[in-house]
């Protein structure tokens, strides 16, 4: 059974301090500004899906949400990385209130989809990086894994909001721990939903293209 | 360091608050009479005036903390400007440590040198030592892809956003005979004439602008705006000569040169933005764009103003 006991709608003190502190730090370093381009801030249940190149992505995205929304929104992180040591697990779960999933699961109770669904069933929102890993290639966006499709099939009422995170890969590249101050924006796009009869691959590619289309400077080559 | 005599500071503050209050009142009346929703020019005007209030308050607070306050304020301005510059230009993953050094070492060290009034080093630290060492580090990293473009952008970034900006608080280190303890007023003189010139150029350009000065670089800069702006800000300089060690005529001349440099700074900043395909440097200041959008003229004016004062007025 998953050991998921999310507190109803509130952060622990540690999580509140962490979340306020990190949002302030994100602003000092990146001057982060949300751009709502096709959707609006809302407390309704959502899956925010974003491009992923840096550990800072999740911090930047949550800094753009209100404190109230943040307290009920959980990032999905890889247990292979964040569960590796007690310290990492403490940071991921107790400080950032993220939810760990195993990319290679053996036990059916560890199935990523069932863990994510159990979060949704408590009325909470998710932050999902559908590329499945941090993108260090020259490609702007990797192909999406199936999770987004499976979640939306199972819970069609939950809005899927594409979020383009700009520049974070330059601020904190993979393998670095000191951030370079650069301006970042997070562009929130229009909700994406599975069309009637739409096939998995077609939907995932369409969601991917919607996310790509939010990049405010697509001509940039870095 | 001691603060300048009270009565000049008070005249200055009352004048600034008076001008801004007038501007806010006029903009308020215009907004009240305009159709709703407000046209975008009026929204922008209101945002700009509000931002001016914030800037005046920030500079006034720094003013009362003397050299330390001014040095910290301009170090923060350099931080914001450098962040915008680096965001806009090309860099690669291998540049990470050089970029970190620009924020973490160059800014604090340059401003420490200014704060301690170490003229011999703060004027050459960036143009000599950083100029040579930054590309050396990049070369040692071994990534030669677009090498010259990357190191040039880094050099420009620190020269413009750190070196040039640091010449504003550096004015406090000058020793002008008979002007002891009043150097903060030189900063006020420089900022008011140069920023005033920006506003005058904008107004004259809107009212009388016919002939574009450099259409390939900026669609809004006109000859009429430039001439009107320079004449008006030179007169403003003469009017403010009581703040300075300059005679009224010399004050007009110094203001003229500073504002001409300010104009060129704006032109160069526009060329860089156009080259990078953006309209504003960033989004820090509501209605103005980024820090560099507001500071571009000051950046070019400050070092020249500093050296004119140093050459002609100090011992």
pLDDT of residue B180: 87
Cα distance between residue B74 and residue A113, in whole Å = 51
Domains of chain B by residue range: 1-64, 66-313
Identify whether the C-beta of residue A134 lies closer than 8 Å to the C-beta of residue A164.
no
Q: Which of A31, A66, A20 is nearest to A171 (CA)?
A: A31
Per-position pLDDT tens, chain A of length 222: 345 556 555 678 888 899 899 999 999 999 999 999 999 999 999 999 999 998 889 999 999 999 899 999 999 998 888 888 999 999 888 888 899 998 887 777 788 999 999 999 999 999 999 998 888 888 889 999 999 999 999 999 999 999 999 999 899 988 888 999 999 999 999 999 999 999 999 999 999 999 999 998 776 655
ipTM of the complex: 0.85
Q: Which chain A residue's Cα is nearest to B86?
A: A182
Chain B closest CA to A189's CA: distance in Å?
Answer: 20
- The verdict on B83 touching A (C-beta cutoff 8 Å) is yes
Cβ B282–A31 below 8 Å, yes or no? Answer: yes
The whole-model pTM stands at: 0.90
- pLDDT surpasses 90 at B287: no
Token pair, residue A83, equals 């569960």
Residues from A in contact with B at Cβ < 8 Å: 31, 33, 167, 170, 173, 176, 178, 180-183, 185, 217, 219, 221-222
Q: Which of A128, A158, A140 is nearest to A58 (CA)?
A: A128
Q: Cβ contacts (< 8 Å) between B283 and chain A: which residues?
A: 31, 33, 183, 185
Angle of helix B66-88 relative to helix B184-208, nearest 10 degrees, comes to 40
Cα distance between residue B204 and residue B256, in whole Å = 16
Q: What are phi and psi of A126, to 5 degrees?
A: -125, 150
One DSSP character per residue, B181-199 reads T-THHHHHHHHHHHHHHHH
Angle of helix B66-88 relative to helix B107-115, nearest 10 degrees, comes to 150
Instruction: Label the pairing between strands A46-50 and A33-36.
Output: unpaired
The predicted model gives B119-148 an average pLDDT of 96
> Among the CATH numbers 3.90.1140.10, 3.40.50.300, 3.20.20.70, 3.40.1130.10, which is that of A33-212?
3.40.1130.10
Q: Cis check for the bond before B71: say yes or no (omega within 30 of 0).
A: no
DSSP letter, residue A108 = G
pLDDT of residue B81: 96
pLDDT of residue B6: 73
Q: Which of A120, A128, A187, A198 is nearest to A157 (CA)?
A: A120
Cα distance between residue B79 and residue B65, in whole Å = 20
Domains of chain A by residue range: 33-212
How far from the centroid of its chain's Cα atoms is residue B81's Cα? 10
Angle subtended at Cα A98 by Cα A94 and Cα A104, rounded to the nearest 5 degrees: 115
Q: What are phi and psi of A158, to 5 degrees?
A: -80, 125
Helix ranges (DSSP H) in chain A: 13-30, 56-63, 67-70, 79-82, 86-89, 112-120, 147-154, 168-171, 200-212
pLDDT in tens, B13-29: 999 999 999 999 999 99
Binned at pLDDT 50, 70 and 90, residue B286 comes out as low
Produce one character per residue of B161-193: b if its CB has 16 or more CB atoms within 10 Å, e if not. bbbbbbbbbbbbbbebeebeebbbbbbbbbbbb
Angle subtended at Cα B113 by Cα B112 and Cα B114, rounded to the nearest 5 degrees: 90
pLDDT of residue A2: 45
Q: Cβ contacts (< 8 Å) between A180 and chain B: which residues?
A: 86, 96, 99-100, 103
Alpha-carbon distance values, A80 to A88, A90, A95, A102, B98 (Å): 11, 14, 18, 6, 32
Alpha-carbon distance values, A169 to A31, A178, A186 (Å): 15, 12, 13
How many beta-carbon pairs below 8 A join chains A and B? 40
Cα distance between residue B273 and residue B271, in whole Å = 5
């Amino acid at each position: 059974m998953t050991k998921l006991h999310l507190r109803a709608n509130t952060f622990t003190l540690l999580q509140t301090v962490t979340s306020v502190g990190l949002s302030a730090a994100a602003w000092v370093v990146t001057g982060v500004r949300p751009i709502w381009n096709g959707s609006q801030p809302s407390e309704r249940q959502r899956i925010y899906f974003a491009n992923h190149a840096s550990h800072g992505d999740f911090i930047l995205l949550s800094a753009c949400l209100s404190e109230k929304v943040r307290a009920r929104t959980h990032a999905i992180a890889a247990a292979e990385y964040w569960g590796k040591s007690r310290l990492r697990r403490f940071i991921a779960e107790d400080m950032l209130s993220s939810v760990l999933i195993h990319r290679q699961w053996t036990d059916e109770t560890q199935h990523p989809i069932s863990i994510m669904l159990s979060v949704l069933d408590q009325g909470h929102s998710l932050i999902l990086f559908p590329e499945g890993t941090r993108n260090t290639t020259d490609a702007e966006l990797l192909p999406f894994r199936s999770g987004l499709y499976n979640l939306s099939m199972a819970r069609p009422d939950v809005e899927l909001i594409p979020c383009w995170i700009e520049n974070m890969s330059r601020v904190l590249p993979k393998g670095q721990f000191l951030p370079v101050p650069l301006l970042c924006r997070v562009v929130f796009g229009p909700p994406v939903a599975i069309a009637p009869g739409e096939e998995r691959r077609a939907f995932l590619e369409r969601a991917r293209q919607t996310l790509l289309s939010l990049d405010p400077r697509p001509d940039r080559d870095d | 360091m001691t603060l300048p005599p009270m009565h000049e500071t008070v005249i200055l503050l009352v004048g600034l608050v008076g001008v801004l209050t007038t501007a806010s009142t006029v903009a308020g009346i215009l907004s009240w009479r305009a159709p709703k929703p407000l046209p975008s020019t009026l929204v922008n005007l209101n945002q700009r005036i509000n931002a001016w209030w914030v800037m005046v308050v920030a500079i006034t607070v720094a003013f009362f903390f003397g050299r330390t306050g001014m040095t910290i304020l301009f170090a923060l301005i350099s931080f914001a400007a450098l962040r915008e510059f680096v965001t806009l230009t090309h860099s690669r993953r291998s540049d990470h440590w050089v970029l970190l050094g620009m924020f973490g070492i160059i800014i604090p060290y340059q401003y420490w040198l200014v704060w301690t009034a170490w003229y011999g080093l703060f004027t050459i630290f960036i143009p000599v030592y950083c100029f040579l060492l930054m590309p050396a580090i990049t070369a040692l990293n071994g990534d030669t892809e677009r090498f010259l473009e990357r190191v040039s952008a880094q050099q420009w970034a620190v020269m413009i956003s750190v070196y040039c900006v640091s010449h504003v608080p550096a004015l406090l280190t000058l020793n002008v005979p008979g002007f002891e303890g009043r150097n903060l007023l030189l900063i006020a003189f420089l900022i008011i004439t140069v920023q005033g010139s920006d506003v005058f150029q904008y107004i004259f350009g809107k009212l009388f602008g016919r002939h574009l000065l450099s259409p390939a670089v900026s669609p809004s800069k006109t000859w009429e705006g430039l001439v009107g702006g320079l004449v008006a800000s030179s007169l403003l300089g003469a009017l403010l000569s009581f703040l300075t060690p300059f005679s009224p005529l010399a004050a007009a001349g110094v203001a003229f040169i500073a504002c001409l440099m300010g104009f060129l700074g704006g032109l160069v900043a526009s060329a860089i933005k156009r080259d990078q395909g953006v309209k504003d440097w960033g989004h820090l200041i509501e209605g103005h764009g980024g820090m560099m959008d507001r500071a571009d003229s000051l950046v070019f004016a400050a070092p020249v103003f500093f050296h004119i004062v140093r050459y002609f007025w100090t011992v």
